[in-house]
Amino acid sequence: MMDKHAQPLLNHLGAYPFERLKKLFRHSTPNPELLHIDAGAGEPRLPLPSFVQDTLNEHIQGFSKYPPTRGNADLQRAIAAWLKRRFHLPHLDMRTQILTANGTREALFAIAHALVNPEAEQKPYVMMPNPMYQIYYGAAITAGAEAYLLPCLVDGGFEPCLDDVDAKTWERTAFIYVCSPSNPTGWIAGHDYYARLLELADQYDFYIVADECYSEIYSDTPPVGLLEVAQGLGRTDFSRCLVMNSLSKRSALPGLRSGLIAGDAKLIARFAKLRSYTGAGTPLPLQAVAAKAWADEGHVAEHLEVYRNSLRAFFDVWGKAHEPAGSFFVWLPVEDDEAFAIAAYEQQAVTILPGSYLGAEDAQACNAGSGYIRAALVDGEDKAAELAVRLKKVKV
């Protein structure tokens, strides 16, 4: 008899990386002689931007109202203005081409449920980089799709490799997640990469979801965005394109839970329908803070300086290595990533994430994250240097 309580799709997912990490460390204690450095989670730990407290006080009464799911007009206007400024999109329409989200995590997850047809004769593919932000994988599986993994390897500069994908696979593809700048590798999609994907999307009828959460953290020039490339190619309706961005990294406000979704009006309408069922609106006082944060570049420039100095401080100690073009993660090769993580914790009181927890096994049982560790430089310059000193001392 069929078990009515079984959750077959969810059961295909393993534990989330941080749960796995807890389990990995269950018999370990961090070296008590050292202060713990937590470089495991990508959680910025910079001072609150100065406008947060006052704006919150000013709008406190908003907690007594239900917030609109799509965001209120002030926030939508601030988001549209930022996207127009940052990505040179003069014609972006705030009414039809923008939605707000409670951070992008939930939106990146939910989008699969709006773009995948689980009743298709053959399971559709959702393409994604490998290693990846694990939400993409969970979203694809629970939406009834199959995850198609694009290996991101050091020899290819960690670019999600499109070369080996054949026509049959593209035909089955419902959509692709691109993460640029990439968590965890720091790779950035250039103009040509996005342009090629747009061509393929037209040829094989699929959508592109670009996770650009780290777009304001980069080593030299600001990364190009998917919508900007689309518009440059004459695609002013952004057809087939959705981008997600967030205040969590740019403004160091991960607890605010505020992000944006922008692009193709048809996809936005479809997503808005799904979100009218699933997505809670961001509380109004938080929307007011978010509107201020999208409008202010001063604090973002200060944060960028801290991230750049932290990366410099880390690599000054660590020495020659792959340096990320964007994001605040370092992605370092090691022999055995789990063994290294345990040793770093026990010997040096450092928490980092084994790379295999950010990858998935492909058909050849190869996990493109294995043999790497990810460390987040989120505590400023001094801690970044200290982290490099301690990681260098780890003996496996």
Ligand X SMILES: Cc1ncc(COP(=O)(O)O)c(C=O)c1O
What is the Cα–Cα distance from 142 to 116, expressed in whole angstroms? 10
Q: How far is the CB of 179 from ligand X (least distance, A)?
A: 5
In 3D space, the residue among 254, 197, 266 whose CA is nearest the CA of residue 230 turns out to be 197
97 is a contact residue toward ligand X (CB under 6 A) = no
Contact region with ligand X (CB under 6 A), list: 72-80, 102-110, 224-232, 293-301? 102-110
The closest residue (CB) to ligand X is 103
289 is a contact residue toward ligand X (CB under 6 A) = no
Taking the least distance from each CB to ligand X, the nearer of 172 and 275 is: 275
Taking the least distance from each CB to ligand X, the nearer of 330 and 342 is: 330
Q: How many CB atoms lie within 10 A of CB 7?
A: 10
Candidate residues 52, 114, 179, 378; the one interacting with ligand X per rule CB under 6 A: 179
- The residues facing 101 across adjacent strands are 259
Residue 261, helix vs strand vs coil: strand
Taking the least distance from each CB to ligand X, the nearer of 108 and 143 is: 108
What is the Cα–Cα distance from 125 to 391, expressed in whole angstroms? 38
Taking the least distance from each CB to ligand X, the nearer of 42 and 223 is: 42
In contact, 376 and 329? CB cutoff 8 Å: yes
Candidate residues 104, 142, 251, 367; the one interacting with ligand X per rule CB under 6 A: 104
186 is a contact residue toward ligand X (CB under 6 A) = no
Q: What percent helix, strand, coil does the chain show, rounded to 5?
A: 45, 15, 40
Number of residues that bind ligand X (CB under 6 A): 14
What is the Cα–Cα distance from 203 to 139, expressed in whole angstroms? 25
133 is a contact residue toward ligand X (CB under 6 A) = yes
Helical packing angle, 298-318 and 381-393, nearest 10°: 30
103 is a contact residue toward ligand X (CB under 6 A) = yes
Contact region with ligand X (CB under 6 A), list: 91-99, 104-112, 138-146, 168-176? 104-112
x/- track of binding to ligand X for residues 40-69 (CB under 6 A):
--x---------------------------
Q: How far is the CB of 142 from ligand X (least distance, A)?
A: 17
Taking the least distance from each CB to ligand X, the nearer of 211 and 386 is: 211
Q: What residues from 208 to 267 belong to the interface with ligand X (CB under 6 A)?
A: 211, 213, 246, 248, 254, 259
Residues 6+ apart with CB under 8 A from 352: 39, 40, 340, 341, 344, 373, 374, 375, 391
- Where b means 16+ CB within 10 Å and e means fewer, 203-233 reads eeebbbbbbbbbbbbbbeeebbbbbbbbbee
What is the Cα–Cα distance from 324 to 218, expressed in whole angstroms? 8
Taking the least distance from each CB to ligand X, the nearer of 210 and 385 is: 210
Helices (H) and strands (E) in the chain, counts: 14, 12
Contact residues toward ligand X (CB under 6 A) are 42, 103-105, 108, 133, 179, 183, 211, 213, 246, 248, 254, 259
